[in-house]
Amino acid sequence: MKYKKLNNNEKMPFMSFGVYEIEPENTKEAVLNALDSGYTSFDCAQVYYNEKEVGQAINESEIPREEIFLTSKNWVSNSGYDKTLKAVNKTLEDLQTDYLDLMLIHQPFGDYYGSYRALQDLQKEGTLLSIGVSNFNSARLIDLTMNSDIVPQVNQVETSPYFQQYEANEVMNELGVSHQAWGPLSEGMDNLFENPILLEIAQKYDKNAVQVILRWLVDRDILFSSRSVKIKRMKENIDIFDFSLSKDDIKKIKELDAGESPFMDYDDPETVIDFNSEIV
């Protein structure tokens, strides 16, 4: 595993195992299989409704807590200072831990300034080693940074070959915020894994298209969270630390960039209404 030093000198593994959309009844097994396959970092969220099962798996594995990197995210309905303190406590309880390696504000909606102040206080007292945000566009990230004591350590945003986020990445680098990708595989939509550009690069390194996508993030210095519930894929997906892409490969992959999310537009008023009304 390769690690990245965050702006507070904490080390974070490049690759995290995401537990989004894994049913609670399948989560413990998935996390135990991921631990067996070499994953040490888990990307959780209150709104995935499976933090208890992640906690059970980690507890059962008997792997020392300090060898595991745990991330969670505070949901919109828990936004605001007091509600965030309460929600983080519940997350700690569910994950059976007394600290988190990273806590993010899940969405830039609701009273996220209040939430961020709570995260800052929890970081100062040592309950959260690192703090950050998710789905913050450059404008919101700059504003939060300019109105807070602590520059977020991480901003987790959708990043994939279809939505490469070069401009946002530049702003994050300027601010000293580490870019983390979510949804790097875009659920394989539009035959992403059979794309001729990715397949040609994959053949050169004796890898598959998914491995090329995940390595492409590492070579752009981008942390990422990805997921598979299948053991064979879990093992393949983590087997990306023995090769690296050339500048030319990265240039070729740029051709796939559509410049927008295939899933949602965070600046669309409907999106803001949906998140605030708990429709999403």
Ligand X SMILES: NC(=O)c1ccc[n+]([C@@H]2O[C@H](COP(=O)([O-])OP(=O)(O)OC[C@H]3O[C@@H](n4cnc5c(N)ncnc54)[C@H](OP(=O)(O)O)[C@@H]3O)[C@@H](O)[C@H]2O)c1
Given 39, 48, 116, 162, which residue is catalytic? 48
Considering only residues 76, 225, 245, 253, which one is a binding residue for ligand X as defined by CB under 6 A? 225
* CB of 118 or CB of 240, closer to ligand X: 240
Contact between residue 84 and residue 112 where contact means Cβ atoms under 8 Å apart: no
Q: How far apart are CA 234 and CA 72, in angstroms?
A: 21
Contact between residue 143 and residue 177 where contact means Cβ atoms under 8 Å apart: no
Examine residue 18 and tell whether it contacts ligand X (CB under 6 A).
yes
* H or E stretch covering 271: helix 269-276
Q: Which stretch binds ligand X (CB under 6 A): 91-99, 144-152, 177-185, 199-207?
A: 177-185
| Residue 39 annotated among the catalytic residues of the structure | no
Q: How far apart are CA 31 and CA 18, in angstroms?
A: 9
Give CA separation, 15 vs 3, 66, 108, 204, in Å. Answer: 8, 17, 24, 23
Question: What is the nearest approach in angstroms of ligand X to the Cβ of residue 29?
Answer: 12
| Torsional sign, CA 266, 269, 271, 274 | positive
* x-or-dash string of contact with ligand X, 34-63, rule CB under 6 A: ---------x--------------------
Question: What is the nearest approach in angstroms of ligand X to the Cβ of residue 104?
Answer: 7
User: Token pair of 19, please?
Assistant: 């537990």
Considering only residues 183, 207, 219, 240, which one is a binding residue for ligand X as defined by CB under 6 A? 183
Active site amino acids: 48
Binding positions for ligand X, rule: CB under 6 A: 18-20, 43, 134-135, 156, 182-185, 187-188, 193, 210, 225-230, 233, 236-237
